[in-house]
Structure formats: C-alpha cells, structure tokens
Structure 1
C-alpha cells in the first residue's frame, strides 16, 4: 500500500519537469509518483516513460489527450492508489527534508489507524530570478503536530488561505465529495481547496516548508496580464465555487466563516481584474457575476457583501475603483505573486 500519491500534471514540461520528479525520489517506495502527460507536444512523454522504466515501483507515466490542468489532476486522482493525495505542478518542487517529515506523520496516522482527512504544511514562493523566497506558514492559526478540527482553528489571515500548495488530502475525501475539475480551465486549484472542505473533519499541521512554488515565468497563469486575458475562466471557477457552497449545510461556524472569506477573495479578484480591463464588456461581466451570486444564494451574497472587500467592490465611480486597485497592488506585495 502506498502512503502518498503525488500527481504531476505535465504539459510541454520537458525543460523543467526533472526537478519536480527528482525532489520526490527520496529512496522510499511509500510514494507513488503519477506523471500525467496532458497531450504534450514536446519530449514530456519520452521523459515520463524513461522515469517509469527506471523506477517501476514508484513512478507511473500516464498519457492522455490534452484537457488542461484540472483534467490532469482528475486523471491523477483516478489512478491514485495512495492513502493520501497531493498535486505537484511540473515547474515546482518539494523540499526533501520536509517531505521526509510529512511522510513520517502520514505513516504514523496509517499505522495507528488514526483518521486524518487533511494535512497542511507550509509553502514557499520562490522568485528564482531575483533570489528571493517568501515562506507562508500557519503557525499562528493552527495547532502544531496534533489532530485538530475546524473548531480548533484560529484566525486565518489573508496570507494564510489553505492552497493547493499547502494541502494533502486523504484520497477517499476527494472521492467522497465527487471532486471533478473542469477541463481546459485555469485557476481550478481554487475548487480543489474549496469544495472538499465540508468533508474534512480532522486536520494536522506540520510546520515545515514543503512545497516550493516557482514564480517568474512570463507565461505563468498568475501573471496579471494573462489573468485579465483569461478572466472568463476565473469567473467560471468562481461560479462553480458559488454553486458548491451552501452555508446552511456547514455545521462548523469557523468553517462557514473561512469558506465565505475565501469566496469573498475570489469575487474580489474577479472584480478587480474586470475593473482593470475597464471595458464596457468587462464592467457588464462584473455586474453579472455579483447578480449570479445574489440569485444563487441571497444570504451568501449578503455575507460576502459584509466583508470589507465585498463592500468596496460594490462602490461606484472612480473613488471605488481607485480604492480597489490600490488594495490589489498592496495584496500583490503581501502575497508576493505577479
């Protein structure tokens, strides 16, 4: 039995996928590495097959037609045999010492038959071009190295959202919630860390910098110009999150609050990008998105609208636009993206 399945979605990743794969080869067969070749046109498939041939008990190369990042994650989940499941993007990598610590914890949970639905570890923004790293940790909000529930959660700051980089799910949790990410759509990682949360009952935080998130490629999906160009996909993801969340179905007040806060962030990002595009079409899309939320769940709309950013987003005129865009610029500095 594999302890951890790690899916690596690859599309034309031949130039950098080695680093991601090698960071997982720590001499343990507890890890299952699923290289999902998403219809690449370069040598990705050849590299994946070579790794599978070299490490047949650890690595599996899976080849599929192009369906986008989310579809590659779906495929990885379909083939996963590990008790736990994580995604590693092909241009990122894991810190080996941190991975050994995480595996030790997961093995312990399995060996003691302890029910653990989600493990959280730190992640690091790696701005390689300028030699700068920014670590995001949860030590002020989560108990360390013990099982806890949503009721034990402290205050999660804006910089401490639970992201795909930081989370490892029990595989069965993802299957129970029937997670299926949309094809040919960017930003689906937000669905990945949102929809399963009501199915998560137990958590464990390890204060190690496991995931190294590479920042700096011009074609990266978090590049602001690219995000504006893909705004319809951002809106699509936000609407899927709206559809999957009914606060009345969530028992824990803290989980309800966190999911509402996360959705507020998504609404804010979409709105900011639409304002920055500043066309008649983009402004119409902003109004339509907020109307969609109001129509789907009026109470949720009211809750989101109570949040500070939600209130600012609804401000009319040039003053509101300036406040929103200034806030977005500050957020970029805090989070270290773009």
Structure 2
C-alpha cells in the first residue's frame, strides 16, 4: 500500500501539468500519483501516458469522458490505494522541502493504533503580478506537531477556513462518508472539504508552506467574470453545503466548535454567492440571491436567522442600489486583503 495517493484532475492542461507532476515525483515510492485526463482536447492525455510509462510504479494515467473537476476527483478516490488522499490541481504545485516534511509526518503517524483522519498544512497564493505572496497559515488556531481533536481548536476567524489546498484526508474516511462530488460542476472543492468534516475525529497541523495555489489565468474558475458566468454551478454547490450542514445536525449538536466552524464556512460561501449575484447586475440574478437565502430559511430557519443577522449576512442583504454598492465595496476590500481571485 502507498502512503499517499495524489490525484491531479486535468482538462486541457498540456501547458502546465508537467510542472505539477515533477514537483510531486519528489515524493518517490511512498506516493501514488493519479493523473485523470477528463476528456481533454489537447495533448494532456499523451503527456499523462508518457509520465505513466516513465514512472510505472508511481504514476497511473486514467482517461475518461469529460465529467468536470468533481468527477475527476471521484475517479481519484475510487482508484486510490494510498492510506491518505490529496488533490493537487494541474496548474498548481508543491514545495519540495515541505513535501518531505509532510511525508515524514504521515509515515510517523501511520503506525498509530488509530490512523489520523486529517492532516493540515499551509498554502501560498501564487498570484500573477502580486508583489508579495499571501500565505494562509493556521498558527495560533490549531495545536502544532501533535494529534488533536475539534475541542482543542481555537476560534477560526472568517476567511481563515480550511480549503482543499490545505487538507489531506484519510482515504477510507472519504469512502466511509460516501463523498461523491457532482459532475460538470465547478467549485466542488468546497464540498470536498466540507462534507467529511463531521466524520473527522483526529487532526494534525504541520506548519509548513506546502501547496502553491496559482492565480492568474483568465479562464481560471476563481476569475470573477468566470464565476459570474458559472453562477448556477456556484449556487448548486452552495445548496449542497446547506443540505450537508442540515444532515449533520445530530453530530454537530454534540460538537460546538465544529458546528460553529461549519456554520462560519457556510456563511462565507453564502456571501460569495450573494456578491457574485450582485456583481452580475441583472434582475434575474438578484432574484436568485433572494431565492438562495429563502432556500436556507426553508432548510434550517435557525441557521438562516443567525447568518442573516451576522455582519456578512446583513451586508449582502442591504436593500436597494445603495445597499448593493456597500456590499460591493466590502467585497473589494476583502479581495485586496486576501487576494483570493
């Protein structure tokens, strides 16, 4: 069995996937790299096959009809043989020295009587044209260099939540919680992180800048214009997260800190959906914003009122054109501070 399975979802990635793969090959035989060619129209499949021929004990190349990022991750989970599981997008890469620390730590933890459920590390926004790199770390929030539970977690402020870039899950846990991401849908990385959380009992935080998250391509899913054009996919993900929060009620009722964290995460996604609908400037999308909040109210009235009366909820629901301008100003400030798109 491999220690760590890493899936690389690829669609028309010929221009940059090699950089990603080369960074992961430094993990050697402890690592299984699963390249999923998701119906690409360029040389992505050929490149994947060539790497698989050169590194047959490390790399698998899987070809499938286009199903979207989520279906590529699903394929990775189904084919993974590693004890742990990681997703690395084809335009991103990892820091080699941090990778060594990650693997060393996972090796040490693998001998525990109960395998670790989730390992966290830092990630770096590699934003094109930015003078400084923004590092998302969790110092002061999670205990370092030891196994801990949700009860040991300090308050996670909004904007400092766990993303796909920072997480490694136990593979079996993903299967046991029946994680199945929707096909032909962007932004499913939020579900990938969100749905397993109620099943996570043990956590480990390694304070290394491991994942390098590239931002800069015009066709990238986090580009604002692209997000607005795909707003229905964002809304689908948002609705599924509402459903997941509701379905985990009995688990979260006994776990106050995890409940608050998942509610805050949902609040952030509600705000992202709302501001993109506002930024689109159409009456149709303003109506969809109202429908989104109404959907939350129907599913979970208590959470609806908590979020609606919070700072983000109030800002995103200020009435009239002047209210929408205030919401957009708040978004621009957050964007400058965090650099997320």
TM-score per shorter chain, which class? over 0.9
1:232 is displaced (CA, Å) by 0.6
1:159 counterpart SS class = coil
2:323 pairs with 1:320: yes
Match of 1:259 in 2: 262
Match of 2:190 in 1: 190
1:152 is displaced (CA, Å) by 0.7
Q: Give unmatched runs, 5+ long, in structure 2.
A: none
Match of 1:165 in 2: 165
Task: State the Cα RMSD in Å.
Answer: 1.2
Hey, what's the Cα distance between the residues in 2 that align with 1:239 and 1:31? 35
1:131 is displaced (CA, Å) by 5.3
2:122 counterpart SS class = strand
Match of 2:238 in 1: 238
Match of 2:83 in 1: 83
1:303 is displaced (CA, Å) by 2.3
TM-score normalised according to structure 1 size: 0.97
Alpha carbons 1:123, 1:166 under 8 Å: kept:
yes
Q: Deviations over 1:179-203 (max 9, x none)?
A: 1111111100010111110000110
1:236 counterpart SS class = helix
Higher mean C-alpha deviation, range 302-311 or range 146-155: 302-311
Hey, what's the Cα distance between the residues in 2 that align with 1:27 and 1:77? 19
Aligned to 2:298, which of 295, 298, 303?
295
Match of 2:93 in 1: 93
Number of aligned residues: 338
Match of 1:248 in 2: 249
1:20 is displaced (CA, Å) by 0.5
Hey, what's the Cα distance between the residues in 1 that align with 2:27 and 2:224? 39
Hey, what's the Cα distance between the residues in 1 that align with 2:128 and 2:235? 30
1:129 is displaced (CA, Å) by 3.7
What does 1:1-338 correspond to in 2, within 5 Å?
Answer: 1-26=1-26, 28-130=28-130, 132-246=132-246, 248-249=249-250, 250=252, 251-338=254-341
Hey, what's the Cα distance between the residues in 2 that align with 1:128 and 1:328? 20
Hey, what's the Cα distance between the residues in 2 that align with 1:307 and 1:152? 25
Hey, what's the Cα distance between the residues in 2 that align with 1:106 and 1:127? 29
Alpha carbons 2:17, 2:90 under 8 Å: kept:
yes
Alpha carbons 2:27, 2:103 under 8 Å: kept:
no
Hey, what's the Cα distance between the residues in 2 that align with 1:186 and 1:296? 23
Higher mean C-alpha deviation, range 324-333 or range 88-97: 324-333
1:275 is displaced (CA, Å) by 1.0
Alpha carbons 2:34, 2:62 under 8 Å: kept:
yes
Q: Deviations over 1:249-307 (max 9, x none)?
A: 21210111011111111111111111111211011101111111111111221222232
Alpha carbons 2:125, 2:212 under 8 Å: kept:
yes
Hey, what's the Cα distance between the residues in 2 that align with 1:81 and 1:115? 15
Alpha carbons 1:141, 1:155 under 8 Å: kept:
yes
2:24 counterpart SS class = coil
1:27 is displaced (CA, Å) by 5.4
Change in Cα spacing, 1:258 to 1:27, as seen in structure 2 (3 Å) is closer
